[in-house]
Structure 1
Amino acid sequence: MLRVGVIGLGAIGREHLDIYRNLPGVQLTAVADARFPGSDEFGVPSFGSTDALLGSGLVDAVSLCTPDDIHYQDSLSILEAGVHLLLEKPVSTSAEEAENLVKAAESSGLTVMPGHTLRFEPKYLTAHRLVESGHIGDVVHGYVRRNNKTSVADRVKGRTSVTFFLGIHDIDAVTWVAGRRVTAVQAMETTQRTSDGGQAVAVTANLRLDNGGIIQLEAAWGLPDDFPTDIDARLRLVADRGELSIDIHEQGMRAFGDTLGYPVPVAASMYGKTQGALHEELDAFVRAVRGEIPLPITMREGADAVHVATAIDKAIRTGSVEEVTYR
């Protein structure tokens, strides 16, 4: 049995808990969160810090699901303890920290995987394979969009920008699907702010690809909470021999009762067992730890997405076209 722990017991951390409990050959053995030291809520030992959990010797691997801006030191501690790491996206909100994590991961001999869930969503994986096979040719232009509800921004409380919280998904997805790196960006944000006043409600950016193509990115968390689906996300790529597009509303299902809704059935539990993209992500991490499959996404790729997000937020501040610098 692979002994796993979860650090950070917010919304995403609790999803990791449920999934690990359903994975064969995996035993959830410990959790950690400063809010729940010694709690019996989770059915396993609960610690108040990462160091306390690591010191217990109860885990072989962990998911780190703490807020984006505090990933760095805990990630280093986990690797120093010889524990395999699934690190929720983004790997950091600092390009320098991201690069240090790449070095630490590559020298550790451990399985270290960024949690970019769209890589495990069948539509995005199919799009990646279509472009990789040459089916639509070389990408010329397109767009990606990810809009979320105001309650999500309220939950984040100004800790990080919408570029890093939402845009990072699509930065990684579009570069992976297109098979191209971003070389330069220009960007703007709204003057309207989130309820705490700390962040812009929406960001748009133009991304120059290394083949000369251009992609428009939109990231926002201003949808009303009664919007009929939790996320409004789309991707479109136009290439020199074809086109592909993804629209998450196209699930073939809608429901109307007191309100109109577009349920996402692929994310629902099925007969008491977890399924969906996050389930596939965690399962792939476990299989990579066991040496059954190559690592699906590397820390280098996770850090590259951070470099693009950093350039976008810098371009907002400077009003200039910013080159994306990779290591």
Structure 2
Amino acid sequence: MTSSGTGRCWQVRPTSRSGVGRLPGVELAAVADPDRELLDRIATCHGIESCYRDALALIDDDSLDAIILATPDEQHVSQAMAALERGRHLFVEKPLASTWEEGRELQQLAVSHGVLLQVGMILRYEASHRWLYSQIEAGLFGDLVSFRGQRNCSRRSFQGIADRIHTVHRTLIHDIDLLLWFSGSQVISVMAMDYRQGSHLSPNGCLAMLKLANGCVAQLESSWYVPDHSPVNVISDHWSGCIDAELAVVGTQRSARINGLQSPLQVWTNQQLQSPDLSLWPSINGRVFGALREQLADFLGCVASGQSSKVADVKSAVEALRIAQAVVEACRTNTVVSLNS
């Protein structure tokens, strides 16, 4: 951070731009995007002077204190490594990497260079999930008996990820992270099966059963078959569609459910029913609110204080990658994968 307390950072995701640029004490100093027209529009809108067509060129900018990396998933590891090696504090959208080994290497690299590394597990900052976590942490649920996470997405969105990233790393990673967060326990074994159409890298659907050291059993499900005319609950300037998400937690004393599809706001148009999510990254009059804003504020606050996040620790993000890798392996081999070691 500069002596005046103004942070300088870079990011590319449209919602992140609005979220960062309006945080107090933060200067959105540079941006990179390969699309020249989009880059010019961003720079004009946010008054940014330093613009790059290449992420690595921006990472070389020594005037920056922190970088927010929201590039395509397959670019995360190489770009994150470059940023950490240059001593930049770094926020990376999930997934941190596509393998546990790569994630652990990035974690160790951050430690060796004395910089902060944080991963965008946004649901830890969403109000319903954060409130539920506080109740579980306070012991009000007793011992956790079961955890069920469902995250099914629009059919038309599958082609955009089919050969870029595995479903486990794209969607199921959120629920793996929530399981680790809520349970405070380790996953010791994994069973999983997938459903495939074609020879894509990613399966069209995946179902996993996980056993935890504390006795809790978890069921996680994700697929890409939500019909085209389902209610639209994700509406942004770069993507719209449906994420049919649900979380159910059963404890010995209480149980709870979060339904991510049902918004209190519903809008009917001639083409569709819109049920816009108002908790993750709602954009209103050019300002972004919700969990995304809270997440970025936490990261930049940590950069300013020099302290790691108390909400989203990189150790958990790396452990989630280890579990994700076990799910992929269980699908491939049709066997139970042990994680006791």
TM-score (norm 1): 0.91
| Shift, 1:228, TM fit | 0.2
- Counterpart in the other structure of 2:269: 257
- Determine if contact 2:116/2:308 at 8 Å carries over to the other structure: no
Aligned to 2:217: 214
Question: What does the per-residue CA deviation read over 1:125-166, in whole Å, with 9 as the maximum and x for residues that have no partner?
Answer: 111111111001111113101111123222224111111100
SS in 2 for 1:238: strand
Q: 2:325 aligns with which of 286, 307, 310?
A: 310
Residue 93 (structure 1) aligns with: 98
How far apart are the structure 2 equivalents of 1:39 and 1:211?
49
What CA deviation, in whole Å up to 9, does each residue of 1:195-247 have, x standing for no partner? x8442211000011111221100011221232103211111111111111111
Measured after TM superposition, the shift of residue 80 of structure 1 is: 1.5
Which is worse superposed, 55-64 or 38-47? 38-47
In the other structure, the counterpart of 2:296 is 282
Q: Which runs of 5+ in 2 are unaligned?
A: 1-5, 233-241
* Paired positions, count: 319
Question: What secondary structure sits across from 2:40 in the alignment?
Answer: coil
Tell me how far apart the structure 1 counterparts of residues 95 and 29 of structure 2 sit (CA, whole Å): 25
Please state whether the residue corresponding to 1:234 is helix, strand or coil.
strand
Percent identical across equivalent pairs?
29
* Segment of structure 1 superposing worse, 43-52 or 121-130: 43-52
Q: Deviations over 1:245-297 (max 9, x none)?
A: 11113433333332323222334234542101111100111111111865122
C-alpha distance in 1 between matches for 2:61 and 2:268:
50
The yes-or-no answer on 1:158 pairing with 2:163 is yes
Deviates more, 1:27-36 or 1:174-183: 27-36
Which residue does 1:23 correspond to in 2?
23
Closer, same or farther: CA 74–294 of 1 in aligned 2, 3 Å: closer
Q: Does 1:144 align with 2:149?
A: yes
Q: 1:293 to 1:98 in 2, by over 3 A?
A: closer
* 2:62 is equivalent to residue 70 of structure 1: no
- Give unpaired runs (5+ residues) of structure 1: none
Mean Cα displacement is larger for which, 153-162 or 132-141? Answer: 153-162
Q: Which of 121, 126, 135 in structure 1 is aligned with 2:131?
A: 126
Aligned-partner Cα distance in 1 for 2:247–2:66 = 33
CA distance in 2, matches of 1:245, 1:142: 10
8 Å CA contact 2:167, 2:203 repeated in 1: yes
Distance 1:151 1:22 in 2: 33
Q: Secondary structure at the match of 2:202?
A: coil
- Summarize deviations over 1:37-77 as a string: whole Å, max 9, x none: 99423213322333311223231111111222321121111
The answer as to whether partners of 1:268 and 1:275 remain within 8 angstroms in 2 is: yes
Match of 2:207 in 1: 204
State the Cα RMSD in Å: 2.1
State the shift of 1:304 in Å.
0.5
C-alpha separation in 1, matches of 2:219 and 2:120:
23
- Corresponding residue number in structure 1 for 2:312: 297
Partner of residue 186, structure 2 = 181
Deviation at 1:36, TM superposition (A): 4.2
Is the 8 Å Cα contact of residues 36 and 46 (structure 1) preserved in structure 2? no
**TM-score where L is the length of structure 2:** 0.87
Moved more, 251-260 or 312-321: 251-260
1:228 is matched with which residue: 226, 231, 239? 231
**Deviates most, 26-35 or 110-119:** 26-35
Distance 1:201 1:137 in 2: 36
1:248 matched to 2:260? The reply is yes
User: How do 1:316-327 residues align onto structure 2 when only pairs under 5 Å count?
Assistant: 316-324=331-339
Q: In the alignment, is the contact (CA less than 8 A) between 1:121 and 1:276 conserved in 2?
A: yes
Partner amino acid for 1:42?
Answer: I
1:75-111 deviation digits (Å, cap 9, x = unpaired): 1111111111001111101111111111112222212
Per mean C-alpha deviation after superposition, the further-off stretch among 311-320 and 286-295 is 286-295
For residues 220 and 112 of structure 1, the distance between their equivalents in structure 2, rounded to whole angstroms, comes to 30
- Structure 1 residue 179 displacement after superposition: 2.0
Kept in 1, the 8 Å contact 2:32–2:55? The answer is yes
SS at match of 1:148: strand
